[in-house]
Amino acid sequence: MARDREHDMTITAGALATIEQAREALAAAGATGTFHARHVGGGAELALDADAVQVAASTYKVAVLLEVACQAVAGELSLTRRVRVPGDVRSPGPSGISSMLDEVELSVRDLALLMMQVSDNTATDVLQEIVGTARIAARLDALGIRDTTVRLDCAGLIAEIIDDLDGDPLNEDRDALGAAVAASPALAGTTGNTTTARDMTTLLSLIWRDEAGPPEACEEVRRVMLQQYAPHRLSTAYRDGPKIAGKTGTFYGGVRNEVGVVDFGDGEEYAVAIFLRQHEFDLRDGRADAAIGAVARLLVDHLRSTR
């Protein structure tokens, strides 16, 4: 047996073998990565570099949703409040309001649904302005989620990376793009919004145990996360069977993430966070997407076998 001294966690031969299989699955997809998986109620864990700081990309939207839900329960914000988003208020992004041309009006909770279901950047930034970035960061700190930083909204994150990559994050000159990615502070996790795999499974576990805020707020986060539409990553881990609540995160420079909870019923729930970095920088890469599901399946199946 080996021991993780920092977390005083005994690592069995079976766990080490599973971690190595997961590492190989990432390598076969042309990627490296970090991950953490745990039973929501506590107990055995599986990890690979789980405390290494990562680019959060859109996984930080879980924290935005939690703040929205908590402020609503506290009476500071109504989930049915109507919000008008003019046609000239758009954050860059390929989905939801970000891809629309005309003015829209939605409730706060439907903005939150778009933020999580299709990772709508404009919906996120509207909500982030309403609840306050400082409030989001303060709540995470109060929960002990202290290796996670929320500094910017989506528009700010994209502006930062465009500056880092000399204005063209989709540069077809792979050598030039590779050099720019290697030199980017945003992609090194020294600026922007960052987190760790362990922080994300901790946050998800607190939400699923009703300990991240009032039970009604945690229930709202779970309700929305269960409606994510992303059949290509974590959801590829299992065919129809367990419920899967998740949040993807995709960013320039080969950043490809997903965090979520796999629920088999009867309290058998597993929080998983996988932060993948591709060797190439394609935004469309089915191998890398599927690798997230393959790794999640390996981790969760091992944890299930030990219960």
Cβ-proximal residues to 16 (8 Å cutoff; 6+ apart), any chain? 2
CA distance 180 to 140: 31
Between strands 82-85 and 104-107, the pairing is antiparallel
What pLDDT score was predicted for residue 140? 98
Which one, of 33, 40, 77, 36, lies nearest residue 55 by Cα? 33
* Tokens read off for 253: 């420079």
The number of angstroms, rounded, from the C-alpha of 222 to the middle of its chain's C-alpha atoms is 14
Task: Kindly report, residue by residue over 68-87, the tens digit of the pLDDT.
Answer: 999 999 999 999 999 999 99
Give the up-direction half-sphere exposure of residue 114: CA atoms within 13 A in the CB hemisphere.
23
Per-residue exposure over 291-305, b if at least 16 CB sit within 10 Å of its own CB, e if not? bbbbbbbbbbebbee
User: What pTM did the predictor assign?
Assistant: 0.94
Which one, of 192, 161, 182, lies nearest residue 53 by Cα? 192
* Tokens read off for 199: 């922080």
Q: Which CA distances in Å does 142 have to 8, 42, 75, 202, 270?
A: 24, 20, 20, 13, 23
Q: How many CB atoms lie within 10 A of CB 122?
A: 26
CB–CB of 186/194 below 8 Å? no
What pLDDT score was predicted for residue 10? 55
What pLDDT score was predicted for residue 281? 83
Return the HEC string of 282-296. Answer: CCCCHHHHHHHHHHH
Which domains are seen in the chain, by residue range?
Answer: 2-305 (3.40.710.10)
Task: Kindly report, residue by residue over 181-219, the tens digit of the pLDDT.
Answer: 889 999 999 999 999 999 999 999 999 999 999 999 999
CA distance 4 to 46: 11
CA triple 200-203-243, angle to 5 deg? 85
Q: Which parts of the chain register pLDDT below 70?
A: 1-10, 171-172
What pLDDT score was predicted for residue 44? 87
